[in-house]
Homo-oligomer: A and B are copies of this chain.
């Protein structure tokens, strides 16, 4: 089969690799129908994170179950399934608490499963899933082709935007600000809208993203950044700031902006992978009573909640995919996202 390997900065290759096989009784092999490139994949592509040795890459996919191990009971061969961006058992105390990203038997696509066996990356033709009954969610039936991009967002990016909104405490009537106009930020807008936010300000300087943000439910756009941007957001909300702020970038500057557009007693929900470990200023939090919650999104816990509205077509989160390529052109997919020619690229094996 073919899959994607990252060799180093600006160097991803579509190459022939061994097809994965069932190892444990709880495994499934899934034939990938669609995968995609994540903003976090770009850390290595841009040379910000090291690539000590060539590595399989990709962690978002939907597909069809090709085979299952002897202990799999909930998932069946032929099911169309959505996987989260990690492997989890859904039975341990952390999974039951709603935090599958802290599963006691967690595994990572493109890395290893809980027992140390290699797990193929998802930007490939087949993936092995160690906890098939835990990780995978089967759709009610096979989806129409145009539904596939929307379903694929449940693997990571929509669930992550939703996690930002949930972590920020968005509820009916909330005043919300969203920092970051990438795919996660845009879907944070959609998630906040779905949760009943009264007003949603998207901080964005790009017209195409502003437009999609408005379609997803943003009521206001603030293009200014820094002190000027913060003042503009506060102005919109009684001069004090937003009830809930979604931090969807992960840099020191974006976190600073998020903390400062929150009103006293407000809450920042953060899902941007922290780049370079921006530390949080505890005295500023103390003085303002602004809370901070978030992290790696437990998207598996959200799939059942979000799926019905995606399945029915009421929500169209897959609109963040503004480029679709054959998997064989994965190098171009990375380049397009790196050069900001695309928000997010969908890949079909």
Determine the chain B residues whose CB is within 8 A of the CB of A277 once the complex forms: 281-283
Interface mask (A293-337 → B, CB under 8 Å = 1, otherwise 0): 111101000000000000000000000000000000000000000
Cα(A342)–Cα(B294), bound, Å: 40
Cα(A305)–Cα(B200), bound, Å: 32
Cα(A167)–Cα(B283), bound, Å: 16
Q: Does A267 touch B at the CB level, under 8 Å? A: yes
Cα(A116)–Cα(B247), bound, Å: 37
Near B by CB (< 8 A), chain A positions 237-280 give 238-240, 255, 263-265, 267, 270, 273-274, 277-280
Tell whether, in the assembled complex, residue B296 and residue A94 are in contact, meaning their CB atoms are under 8 Å apart: no
Determine the chain B residues whose CB is within 8 A of the CB of A240 once the complex forms: 93-94
Task: From known contacts A97-B263, A240-B94, infer whether A294 and B288 are also in contact, taking CB-CB under 8 Å.
Answer: no
- Interface segment among A29-37, A50-58, A98-106: the answer is A98-106
Point out the residue from B102, B263, B270 that lies within 8 Å of A265, measured CB to CB.
B102
Q: Does A289 touch B at the CB level, under 8 Å? A: yes
Task: From known contacts A94-B265, A279-B280, A281-B279, infer whether A291 and B292 are also in contact, taking CB-CB under 8 Å.
Answer: yes
Subset of 29 A-B contacts with CB under 8 Å: A94-B240, A94-B265, A97-B264, A99-B264, A101-B289, A102-B265, A102-B288, A167-B289, A167-B291, A255-B282, A270-B286, A274-B282, A274-B283, A277-B282, A277-B283, A279-B279, A279-B281, A280-B280, A285-B292, A285-B294, A286-B294, A287-B296, A288-B295, A289-B293, A289-B296, A290-B295, A291-B291, A291-B293, A292-B292
Closest B residue, CB atoms, query A271? B286
Determine the chain B residues whose CB is within 8 A of the CB of A295 once the complex forms: 285-290
Cα(A283)–Cα(B240), bound, Å: 28
In the assembled complex, how far is the CB of residue A270 from the closest CB belonging to chain B, in whole angstroms? 7
Known A270-B286, A279-B281, A289-B296; 13 more pairs at CB < 8 Å:
A93-B240, A94-B263, A97-B265, A99-B264, A99-B265, A99-B289, A255-B282, A267-B293, A280-B280, A280-B292, A285-B292, A289-B298, A293-B293
In the assembled complex, how far is the CB of residue A302 from the closest CB belonging to chain B, in whole angstroms? 13
Tell whether, in the assembled complex, residue A282 and residue B279 are in contact, meaning their CB atoms are under 8 Å apart: yes
Cα(A296)–Cα(B97), bound, Å: 30
Cα(A273)–Cα(B282), bound, Å: 10
Tell whether, in the assembled complex, residue A273 and residue B294 are in contact, meaning their CB atoms are under 8 Å apart: no
Tell whether, in the assembled complex, residue A282 and residue B280 are in contact, meaning their CB atoms are under 8 Å apart: yes
Closest B residue, CB atoms, query A101? B289
Determine the chain B residues whose CB is within 8 A of the CB of A265 once the complex forms: 94, 97-99, 102, 298
Top 4 A-B residue pairs of the complex, sorted by shortest distance between their CB atoms: A291-B293, A102-B264, A279-B279, A280-B280
Determine the chain B residues whose CB is within 8 A of the CB of A289 once the complex forms: 99, 101-102, 167, 293-296, 298
Cα(A274)–Cα(B285), bound, Å: 10
In the assembled complex, how far is the CB of residue A167 from the closest CB belonging to chain B, in whole angstroms? 7
Cα(A73)–Cα(B97), bound, Å: 50
